[in-house]
Amino acid sequence: MTDTSKQPSNGDGSARNVASSVDPLPSHPSPTPSHPLPLWLDVDPGHDDALALILATHCSNRLRVVGVSTVGGNQSLVRTTRNALHVLASIDRAQIPVHPGRDQPLRRKAVPQPDIHGTSGLEGSSFPPLQTRPSPVKAWDALAHALRTTNEPVTICATGPLTNIALFLLAYPEFLPKDPQHQDAEDDEFDMPGSLKHAASTSNSSLPLHKRIRQISIMGGALGIGNTSPAAEFNIQLDPEAADIVFNSGVEVTMVPLEVTHTALVTEEVLRRIAELAPAIPSSSSSSTAASDHSAQSSSANSASTSLSLSLSPSPTRPLTPFLTLIVDLLLFFRDSYSKVFHFREGPPLHDPCAVFYLLRPEAFECQWMHVSVDCGEGICSGRTVADVYGYGIHGSGLRADAPRKNVRVAMKMDVDQFWAEMLEALKSADRVSVLNRPTTTIQAKQQTDAAVHALEGELEAEEVGTVAAAAASTTSTASNK
């Protein structure tokens, strides 16, 4: 898509030149399997985060996920971390490390969203017991390590509050873009935690540190009405100070706001198309037994919503696989939440995958480059993203030489058909390899005992308390010294 926005009028019939509608940094080319985009995902799963993880890891190898970090947002850090591990395990991507970050916003109290995402954060279905553990390396340290050891710039995609990304930028300012007159200056070494120093020292990359962040794509913000306050979108409202740091970091930032994500609705037709991804089972005496077993596995995934998901099965010979049952059940819960809380009747908006889709198909978006400021006050507009669409500047008298710097590329429109084509293809790919679709006996052989699972979850709780407390203390100290 190209920028087709109309020139606004000065009020006297003449057109005003809107520099904010021109993107001074052209969109990057779409990645390909031969040139995949290195990607770091920062998430707070969350139903739509789960689909973002699936899209990022099953997009025909066009994105290469180098790490995942979790943040407190839709639910507590313990739960978002557990959910990320569950989702990655279910789509055969358990080898991707998950690094817990910060549970609380920089200066405010966390406000989870059980009305939308349930008590677990991924209410609506269930997963087999976890076989993987989160990494002991904190999110911001792990991201710095990934950047130090890369041979090419890494893109960051954040689909939750921007707390982890802001803490990273505060703790590791050497990765920030340099002023033009300092672009050729030699990068100073930065003292890293001992556990990471050896890996960094073995890197042969000659890419300067300040050029190792390609861009940051976020789902967040709104040009108009918010979703968790009259003026603010949830991710920004939860930690506006973090968003302000990221937006004014000098890093290339693309914001995919509510106005765009609200066009990616999970309609009844979308649910049908997901169900039609189920592979056909050949009709024979032996395969009919297999179909019966297949259906039984799907039914056992979550008895609470089984009747709803099974009603979407294309035919008895094409029952929903356990993985597709999981996806449909999660989306049905999400649909009901959005219907009750926000009165969405057509279906819920699938926010977070839109920020991943932008990285896959930037040409499918219309964008404008503009100044976006974040209201960090305490009033009714706290967390509002104030977007200077027409380049008015601070004093509102038209384009000015002293107008604030254009700091954010804002997505204004998205090709929804292309979005769903990519999302459905990713679900189809994930369904082919999902461990949930393997024979029950295989899954049971890999599962831990219930006692071991409870012990693991208890350790996750303990790790979160210790890790976040230490991270908060060290980061606050680091930031105060900068």
Report the candidate in 81, 80, 93 with the shortest Cα–Cα distance to residue 39: 93
- Reduced to 3 states, what is the DSSP secondary structure of residue 424? helix
454: part of which helix (H) or strand (E)?
helix 450-481
Maximum C-alpha span of the chain? 78
Contacts of 173 (CB under 8 A, 6+ apart): 482
CA distance 162 to 166: 6
Find where tokens 């954040």 sit: 158
* Exposed / middle / buried, residue 294 (Cβ in 10 Å: 0-12, 13-18, 19+): buried
Annotation says 35 is catalytic: no
Angstrom distances, CA of residue 268 to CA of 52, 329, 335: 20, 13, 10
Q: How far apart are CA 125 and CA 104, in angstroms?
A: 26
- 86, 294, 351, 371: the catalytic one is 351
Q: In the 3-class helix/strand/coil scheme, how is 285-297 assigned residue by residue? A: HHHHHHHHHHHHH
β-bridge partners, 409: 254, 369
Determine the Cα–Cα distance for residues 83 and 403; give it in Å rounded to an integer: 43
- The count of C-alpha atoms lying within 13 angstroms of the C-alpha of 145, restricted to the half-sphere facing its C-beta, is 20
* Closest residue by Cα to residue 434 from 279, 265, 306: 279
Measuring CA to CA, which residue among 424, 415, 296 is closest to residue 358? 415
Nearest to 324 by CA among 294, 359, 356, 291: 294
- Catalytic residue numbers? 351
